[in-house]
């Protein structure tokens, strides 16, 4: 068993597509009209057959309260792994991405948290070797 699709609730699918593709570097895997919205999934360009991230509309009232509570408490909705957190943060800052948490050491990992501009905080994580370097 493996994860095929997971979702992140977004305020605006067009804006989310621009952020997740143009800024973070994902590519669209599936884009199918579904009523007023779309079944819109993205994948890492390095893993076109990997787990899909559904950019799911956040219209349901419970979703609005849930996301607002997470953001208010500083809790990221998802976590994306990067190879070099420092370089990735520099790249994202150069594109105007807002950081809710600057890179911080946390044991064998280094983490940062960004605002996805669509109502979510996203954690970026670099897993370092067992030697801590």
Whether the predicted pLDDT of 68 surpasses 60:
yes
Residue 45 counted as domain residue: yes
| Cα-only R_g, the chain | 15
Q: Average of pLDDT values for 96-108?
A: 96
Task: Please give the torsion angle defined by the CA atoms of residues 57, 63, 66 and 69, in that order, rounded to the nearest 10 degrees.
Answer: 60
Query: Which residues touch 54 (CB under 8 Å, ≥6 apart)?
Result: 5, 6, 7, 8, 39, 40, 41
The pLDDT value recorded for residue 126 is 98
Res. 80 pLDDT band, cuts 50 70 90: very high
| Number of structural domains found in the chain | 1
Give the domain range for residue 49.
5-127
Asked if the structure places residue 132 within a domain, the reply is no
What pLDDT score does 39 carry? 98
Which pLDDT band, with edges at 50, 70 and 90, does 129 fall under? Answer: confident
The pLDDT value recorded for residue 131 is 57
Q: What is the pLDDT of residue 130?
A: 60
User: Is residue 70, in this structure, part of any structural domain at all?
Assistant: yes
Tell whether 86 is covered by a domain. Answer: yes
| pLDDT mean across residues, the chain | 95
Residue 54 is assigned to a structural domain of this protein: yes
pLDDT at position 75 is 96
Q: Using pLDDT thresholds of 50, 70 and 90, give the confidence band for residue 14.
A: very high
CATH number at residue 45: 3.10.180.10
133 found inside a domain: no
């Amino acid at each position: 068993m493996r994860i095929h699709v997971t979702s992140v609730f977004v305020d605006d699918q067009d804006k989310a597509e621009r952020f997740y593709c143009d800024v973070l570097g994902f590519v669209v895997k599936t884009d199918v009209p579904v009523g007023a919205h779309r079944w819109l999934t993205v994948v890492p360009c390095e893993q076109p057959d990997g787990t899909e991230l559904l950019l799911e509309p956040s219209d349901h009232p419970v979703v609005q309260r849930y996301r607002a509570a997470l953001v208010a408490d500083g809790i990221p909705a998802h976590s994306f792994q990067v190879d070099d957190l420092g370089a990735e943060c520099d790249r994202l800052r150069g594109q105007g991405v807002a950081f809710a948490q600057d890179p911080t050491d946390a044991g064998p990992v280094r983490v940062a948290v960004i605002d996805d501009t669509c109502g979510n905080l996203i954690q970026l994580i670099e897993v370092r070797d067992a030697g801590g370097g």
